[in-house]
Structure formats: C-alpha cells, structure tokens
Amino acid sequence: MPELPEVETIRMGLAPRLLGRTIEAAHVWGERTARNQPGGTAALEEAMRGRRVEALARRGKFLWAELDNDRALVFHLGMSGQLRVQDGQRPRFRHEHARLTLDSGTSLSFVDQRTFGRLEVASLVDTPDGAVAGWGATRSAIPETAAHIARDPLDPAFDPLEVTRRIRTSRSSVKNLLLHQEIVSGIGNIYADEALFAAGVHGARMGKNLRVYQVQRILSEVANVMTRAIEVGGTSFDALYVNTEGEPGYFARSLMVYGREGLPCKVCDTPISRVAISGRSHHFCPNCQPRSGRKPKSK
C-alpha cells in the first residue's frame, strides 16, 4: 500500500498539471470506485464536472483536491491505486476505472488493479487546531472522511510533544503505535521499520517503557527516512506503485532492514530478523535493536 512518500510523490507530480484547472469531463466506469459516493457513479461524475482545482493537499496517506465550491475530491489509493497523467486522449489503461479531462486537454486516469481504492467528493470540515489542513492545503479545513486522521511528521503543524506523550502513556508496542493513524499518520510498515532501526529501538517495546528522548528520536528518524524516500520517488517493489508518469520509486535500494530478513545488517553484519507484531511483520537487527533495550557489551 502506498505510504506517505509515495503519496507525496504523486501529489508533487499532479500539482503542476491540476492546479487552477477546471474538470471539463468526468467518466467513472467502476461502481466500486464510487462506492462511498451517495448516488454512485453518476453522482460522482456530476460532483466533479465543471469544478476548478484550487489546491492539491495531503495529510499522511490521504490525498485530496480543494475544489472551488468548498468541497474536496478525495483520492483513496488503497492497495494498488495509481493516478496517471497524460496529454491528450488515449485508450483506457488496463484496470482504469475513472478519467478526468481538464480544460488544458490533460487527462487524469485512476487505475486500480485490486479495486480497493476509490474516489469521492466530500464536504470540508474545520481542523480542530485551526491550522492549515495538510501539506499543500490552503484552507484550515479537511475532508470529513479524513477528519479522524492525525497529522504526519512532515506537516508544519505536527506536534511532536503531544505525539510523544500519547506514545509514552500506552502499553502497546511502539511499532503498532507508529502505524496508528489517529496518533501519527502516514507511516506504514516500511518506514516504521526503517525509522526504528535508525533510532536503535526494537518495535516490540511498549510505548510506556521508552524514554522521551527515544520517542523523539524515533519521530525524527521517521521524518528523515520519509524525506529521503520522497527525494527518490518512494519505494517500489512491483508495478503496483508508480508515479504519475508511470515510473517506479527507487528507495528500495536504500532500505536497511525492511525486506532483508537473513541478510547481514549493513552496520554490524548480524543477520536481519523478522517477527510478527500484532499480525504485522517487523524487520530488525537483533544487535542494533535489542528487545531488552540494552545493547550487548562489545568484546
């Protein structure tokens, strides 16, 4: 599933093509694509047609376009959703379920092989903290379907002290807490494992057992690793994630632990291990991230 770096890569690719443009035509071929829109495909097409895109915003993994009627077009990418931009008309992509044609002649296609993604036009609601809703947003209002999502570590209004407090008062594992989108958003398995490795913390440790500086370092490393991933277009393991031009991301080449079970740690040569934490895989180095929190004494 695309995580924050992949969604931000898509947002950056879309912004120059969409901002200030009017949606002249809208076609939705997939019923599942419009499953959350009251009235189905016809209502979704009508809600998009004729609207001007005023901003393209992201919070965590949620991406939306601010429209000129105080509503938002929300893109839920799901497991395999892609947003592909083309100049002029072209035949439908395989698994293409919706297409918007802009007044510039550019078309935006929603491609979704596994059909877990969807589009919807939703009302905007005020942000509880009164700050601009997310990266790229211009309003202190967020789509009501994403109002429960916490801010992400790259958001200018992110509050690391409050997130630290919430993590340190929990008996859940820190890996689970990083994946809890109502505490901190945008972090999935890949970047949680990479950040925990960089911070030297095992993902199974309970939040309440971590010191303030450890949680703050984890959050700092989350921001660092995701920033580096954005610089190379995110992480692609297969053809399901590509950017708006159909190109993959290259951060997989820089992964330290995720997907490297059995391979030597790039820091200490200890084989990378993998365990399940609440049903999710956690990749870690047993030497660099001891579960006890105490690194073994060097011989």
Annotated catalytic residues are: 2-3, 61, 280
Q: Is 20 exposed, middle or buried (0-12, 13-18, 19+ CB in 10 A)?
A: exposed
Q: Which of 164, 121, 149, 128 is nearest to 58 (CA)?
A: 149
Rounded distance, CA 298 to CA 216, Å?
A: 26
Write the Ramachandran bin of 45: left for phi over 0, alpha for psi from -120 to 50, otherwise beta.
Answer: alpha
Q: What phi and psi values does residue 26 have, to the nearest 5 degrees?
A: -140, 130
Q: What phi and psi values does residue 193 have, to the nearest 5 degrees?
A: -65, -40
Count Cα atoms within 13 angstroms, Cβ side, for 242.
15
Q: Is 107 helix (H, G, I), strand (E, B) or coil?
A: strand
The whole-angstrom distance between residue 10's C-alpha and the CA centroid of its chain comes to: 10
